[in-house]
Chain A
Amino acid sequence: MAKDSKLILDPLTDNNPITIQVLGICSALAITAELEASIVMSISVLFVMGVGNVVISLMRNIIPSKIRIIVQLIVVATLVIIVDQVLKAYAYELSKTLGAFVGLIITNCIIMGRFEAFALGNGPWRSFLDGIGNALGYAVILIIVGFFRELLGSGTLLGIQILGDPVAKTGLYAFGYENNGFMLLSPMALIVVGIIIWIQRSRNRALIED
């Protein structure tokens, strides 16, 4: 049982897929300019990784090793297309929000990484926990980055004005504060992720490689 809980908890901190394994960086950079987008992407990855890991785990003894990567890719792509189609039919507005992420989910290296590293060698339940754990670890970083980028870049959170109105110069803007446009650009996401990695490693020196 303790081992099972490690599958969920480890990726949140000391084995985080983004800050420690340095996977899934591209999608983290691309869509974290808004907190809402970070949350939608996190939920999508949570679903695809949880279900995908179970599917790959169930198929692990029959997948030919020569084409296993292609098989994994097909599983991810199929799941994403199914989710997209179901949303388009039953929750059209939500499907449009997801539209920009579909390609990024398929190419997310964390998903392929977990299929390859875990689901191919473990049972469905443990694979499910591993998928959920890693997706949550990914979500934590995405949400932190999204929070800071949206707050400092646009002065809003989830689209709601937090720091005042930048055009009418109210709130913080009355004191001369300006939105930092750099925060909206991808390189700043990399810098925010870098700062998180820095903080994490300075708190836990065991993570620093020689």
Chain B
Amino acid sequence: MEKRTDKNSYTVIFAIGMVLVVGAILAYLASTFRPMIAENERLEKQQNILYAMGVNNNEPGSATFVSTQDAPKLFQQYIKEQLVIEDGEVKTDDQAYLIDVKKEQTRAKAGKSRRLPLFVGEKDGKKFYIAPIRGKGLWDAIWGYIAMDENMVVQGVYFDHKGETPGLGANIKQRYFMDDFSGEHLLTDSGSFKGITVSKTNADPTNKDKEDYEVDAIAGATITGDGISAMIKKDLRLYVPYFKNLKNRG
């Protein structure tokens, strides 16, 4: 005799029921947690920006942010201005750090104007210009924040990723990799934009030569490294006119 659970009608009803139950559970969880997750993401952006300009709780060897409790206060203290550059026009916007770089990149692809956020920070009397960048790694998105001085010399970076391989590409958020970027030049002597290449043939593992436009790559993470080079070159190039203007004015 055929079992009750083998009937086609039972199978269809079971499938529909299961989809409804699972869907309801996940929808409920998603809507309950959404505000908390959004808040976590907002604080993380502030922590990332502060990290890039050197406001962090780093011990040697680790990459540690300021605590989530302190982040909003410190963000207000150190970030003096939040700018949005659109079609060459520079506006201030207190919420510029919430601009979704991914959405702006999509807008640019569709031929629309792209809003470029830029954060002006000040620490110990020194000015930092921090720009977000975003690109592709091996498996998924990679992104980061680059802090520069007015000559587009890198002062600090923060990189992160969604799903790079642990131990390989995921090491872009390790300090030994990120620290190598500090002091690297993005512009040539003549003022044209060159960017930084994550290079496997950089025979300078201690990275003492800061004007070679290269940093030492991570072994076994070629594609993630190429992704970093590409996003630096593609996204930071867009800020060059702003820095040129800054020089002309200053």
Contacts and interface: CB of A to CB of B under 8 A. Distances in A.
A82 B29 contact: yes
- Choose among B15, B36, B219 the residue with the greatest number of A CB atoms under 10 Å from its CB: B219
Interface stretch (A14-22, A58-66, A109-117, A121-129): A58-66
Contact of B167 (A74, A85, A184): A184
Contacts of B162: 99-100
A153 B146 CA distance: 29
B25 A67 contact: no
B163 A100 contact: yes
Contacts of A86: 29, 33
A62 B33 contact: no
Nearest to A154: B167
A122 B33 CA distance: 35
Given A71-B18, A92-B40, A31 B167 contact: yes
Nearest to A74: B22
Given A67-B11, A167-B205, A81 B165 contact: no
A78 B26 contact: yes
A154 B25 CA distance: 43
A85 B29 contact: yes
Interface string B147-173: 000000000000010111111101000
A70 B16 CA distance: 12
Interface residues of B, number: 34
A96 B25 CA distance: 23
Interface of A is mostly: helix
B220 interface: yes
Contacts of A46: none
Contact of A85 (B11, B33, B205): B33
B167 A64 contact: no
Contacts of B165: 30-31, 33, 100
A99 B166 CA distance: 10
B41 to A, nearest CB: 8
B36 A62 contact: no
Contacts of A82: 25-26, 29
A194 interface: no
Contacts of B11: 64, 66-67
A37 B5 contact: no
Interface string B16-35: 00100010011001100100
A152 to B, nearest CB: 12
A81 B26 contact: yes
Interface string A85-114: 110111010001001100100000000000
B33 A65 contact: no
A130 interface: no
B166 A31 contact: yes
A121 B26 CA distance: 28
Given A64-B5, A81-B26, A181 B37 contact: no
A89 B205 contact: no
Nearest to B206: A167
B33 A33 contact: no
Nearest to A41: B166
A155 B170 CA distance: 17
A100 B164 contact: yes
A144 interface: no
Contacts of A99: 162-163
22 contacts: A32-B167, A37-B167, A62-B14, A64-B6, A64-B10, A64-B11, A64-B15, A74-B18, A78-B22, A82-B26, A85-B33, A85-B37, A88-B36, A89-B40, A99-B162, A100-B162, A161-B61, A179-B219, A184-B167, A184-B219, A184-B220, A185-B220
Closest 4 CB pairs of A and B: A33-B167, A37-B166, A34-B167, A89-B33
Interface of A: 30-34, 36-37, 61-67, 70-71, 74, 78, 81-82, 85-86, 88-90, 92, 96, 99-100, 103, 149-150, 153-154, 159, 161, 167, 179, 181, 184-185
